[in-house]
């Protein structure tokens, strides 16, 4: 008994110590300085893209070349980065990106694309660009793209296939996942709002609710599902890769459009996630992986993508759970000096040791800071940002890391680095008046959309 008490006391002390972030005072001047540093990094990354990858989807920051996802370029980097330039008041860069996009982007191509990625990176960016600038060509491009994505949803269940050909509408790959099925509510809802055609929100909502109605008796979902049959192919529930933004969009469809059914669905899932997956250990709070039917732990894996959930919890007002998770997130970052893609939070072993320049950990700091104004989140955000700017920098931009232990660089700078990572880092330190979270909702790719609680697509 005495040993038990000693153990509990030691565990509690370790937990408290691991939660302690050294207190430092932030002044307006020091926050502005950090914001400026991030803006310079954004300018530097764009300069590299311009110099070595102009017109391509992305910059390869080590070999200093350009890279396309498909046979043609869809200008992923300029498009994903455009609203970041606007928010950062980088007028010259915004002008360059705008000219490239409006003169070079064409969706009338015989090309098969991944529906989810094209939606979050391109469609979301185009709609956001339109809302921020009222520049009609952005909406024309968005409408054209939206129409071309619609055939993906022609499955027996209404859940989209993973790939669609933009010209022919041919689809492929029926085994998909909740994220790739349920992450259209925001972009398609906005398209319905701006075009007056309810079809987009209708099919986006149907797809998300086809997942929801297949939840288990304990209100969890699995990782893989067949969109032809509606049968689960993998029953492990987790909040990271392949499920993450399905949960996120149920909450955000409520935040953006006031959709009550989405809010109810979010609440039900969130309650189950907290009941079966939330795990508190001395180093912080994590969400573990469980079987969707029994709620029993399958793997104690956690990683860079999972880190977003603290942000969505903070946004929804649950700052208590969010804080605990964020301490786990920060532990993950500081333990490895850059967060890994995945590690085992029970024994700290690395599963996927790479860092892909992901935003989620900083994103959660941003939401937590906005809700609490606790400088702890500024300290965390500064440490993470400084690590990235120092360890990932190349002669041409910023590179993903192959292994957080060796810091060997990977020849990749994903467009979300400019769309999300630098944007959330900047907004964490920039004056809050720049962006009012009461008026906008960020898509999963951090494209800001203006709240419209009057909009009702009446989807069913
Ligand atoms: C982004 O493309 C989106 O945030 C998506 O939802 C998952 N993660 C990447 C960035 O890590």
Q: Tens digit of pLDDT for each residue in 368-416?
A: 999 999 999 999 999 999 999 999 999 999 999 999 999 999 999 999 9
Q: Which pLDDT band, with edges at 50, 70 and 90, does 6 fall under?
A: very low
Judge contact between 306 and 344, C-beta under 8 A: no
Q: Whose CA is nearest to atom 3 of ligand 1?
A: 445
Q: Which pLDDT band, with edges at 50, 70 and 90, does 21 fall under?
A: low
Cα angle, residue 437 at apex, residues 239 and 254 outer, rounded to 5°:
55
Is residue 358 within 6 Å of ligand 1 at its C-beta? yes
In percent, the amount of the chain with pLDDT more than 90 equals: 92
pLDDT given at position 16: 44
Is 80 exceeded by the pLDDT of residue 459?
A: no
Q: Which atom of ligand 1 is nearest to the CA of 248?
A: 6
pLDDT given at position 30: 96
User: Which residue is it, tokens 């925001």?
Assistant: 186
Number of C-beta neighbours around residue 226 at 10 A: 16
pLDDT given at position 5: 44
CA of 240 to the centre of ligand 1 (A): 10
Q: Which pLDDT band, with edges at 50, 70 and 90, does 3 fall under?
A: very low
pLDDT given at position 351: 98
Q: Which pLDDT band, with edges at 50, 70 and 90, does 455 fall under?
A: low
Is residue 445 within 6 Å of ligand 1 at its C-beta? yes
Q: Which pLDDT band, with edges at 50, 70 and 90, does 338 fall under?
A: very high
Q: Nearest CA to 90 among 424, 426, 357?
A: 426
Q: Which atom of ligand 1 is nearest to the CA of 179?
A: 6
Q: How far apart are CA 270 and CA 331, in angstroms?
A: 23
Catalytic residue among 80, 112, 187, 244: 244
Q: Which atom of ligand 1 is nearest to the CA of 117?
A: 2
Is residue 193 within 6 Å of ligand 1 at its C-beta? no
Is 70 exceeded by the pLDDT of residue 301?
A: yes
Mean pLDDT of the chain: 94
Active site annotation includes 387: no
Is residue 215 within 6 Å of ligand 1 at its C-beta? no
Dihedral sign of CA atoms 343, 349, 351, 355 in order: positive
Q: Nearest CA to 368 among 307, 313, 331, 286?
A: 313
Distance of CA 190 to the CA centre of its chain: 18
Q: What is the pLDDT of residues 50-106, one digit of tens each?
A: 999 999 999 999 999 999 999 999 999 999 999 999 999 999 999 999 999 999 899
Q: Which pLDDT band, with edges at 50, 70 and 90, does 290 fall under?
A: very high
Burial of 22 (0-12, 13-18, 19+ CB in 10 A): exposed
Q: How far apart, in Å, are the Cα atoms of 452 and each of 121, 146, 182, 259, 431?
A: 21, 20, 20, 11, 24
Task: Work out the average pLDDT over 36-62.
Answer: 98
Q: Which pLDDT band, with edges at 50, 70 and 90, does 456 fall under?
A: low
List the single range of 24-33, 41-50, 85-94, 236-245 with lowest mean pLDDT.
24-33
Task: Work out the average pLDDT over 236-265.
Answer: 97
């Amino acid at each position: 008994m005495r040993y038990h008490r000693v153990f509990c006391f030691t565990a509690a002390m370790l937990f408290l110590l691991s939660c302690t972030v050294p207190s430092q005072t932030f002044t307006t001047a020091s926050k502005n300085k950090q914001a400026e540093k991030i803006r310079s990094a954004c300018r530097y990354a764009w300069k590299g893209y311009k110099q070595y990858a102009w017109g391509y989807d992305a910059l390869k920051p080590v070999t200093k070349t350009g890279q396309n996802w498909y046979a043609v370029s869809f200008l992923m980097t300029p498009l994903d980065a455009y609203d970041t330039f606007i928010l950062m008041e980088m007028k010259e860069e915004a002008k360059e990106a705008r000219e490239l996009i409006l003169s070079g982007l064409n969706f009338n191509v015989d090309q098969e694309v991944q529906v989810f990625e094209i939606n979050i990176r391109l469609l979301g960016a185009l709609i956001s660009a339109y809302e921020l600038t009222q520049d009609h060509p952005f909406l024309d491009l968005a409408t054209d793209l939206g129409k071309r994505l619609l055939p993906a949803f022609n499955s027996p269940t209404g859940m989209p296939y993973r790939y669609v050909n933009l010209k022919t509408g041919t689809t492929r790959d029926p085994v998909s996942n909740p994220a790739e099925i349920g992450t259209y509510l925001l972009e398609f809802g906005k398209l319905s709002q701006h075009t007056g055609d309810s079809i987009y929100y209708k099919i986006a909502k149907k797809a998300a609710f086809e997942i929801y109605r297949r939840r288990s008796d304990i209100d969890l979902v699995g990782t893989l599902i067949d969109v032809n049959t509606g049968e689960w192919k993998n029953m492990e529930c987790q909040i990271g890769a392949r499920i993450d933004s399905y949960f996120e969009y149920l909450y955000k469809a409520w935040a953006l459009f006031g959709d009550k059914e989405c809010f109810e669905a979010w609440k039900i899932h969130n309650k189950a996630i907290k009941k079966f997956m939330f795990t508190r250990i001395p180093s912080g709070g994590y969400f573990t992986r469980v079987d969707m039917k029994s709620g029993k732990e399958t793997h104690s894996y956690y990683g860079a993508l999972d880190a977003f959930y603290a942000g969505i919890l903070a946004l929804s007002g649950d700052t208590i759970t969010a804080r605990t998770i964020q301490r786990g997130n920060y532990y993950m970052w500081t333990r490895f000096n850059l967060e890994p893609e995945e590690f085992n939070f029970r024994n700290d072993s690395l599963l996927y040791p790479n860092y892909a320049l992901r935003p989620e950990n900083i994103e959660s700091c941003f939401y937590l800071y906005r809700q609490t104004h606790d400088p702890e989140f500024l300290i965390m955000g500064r440490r993470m940002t400084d690590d990235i700017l120092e360890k990932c920098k190349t002669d041409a931009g910023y590179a993903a890391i192959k292994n957080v232990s060796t810091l060997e660089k990977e020849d990749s700078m994903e467009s979300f680095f400019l769309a999300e990572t630098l944007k959330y880092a900047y907004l964490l330190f920039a004056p809050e008046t720049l962006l009012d979270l009461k008026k906008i909702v960020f898509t999963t790719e951090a494209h800001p959309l203006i709240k419209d609680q009057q909009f009702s697509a009446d989807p069913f």
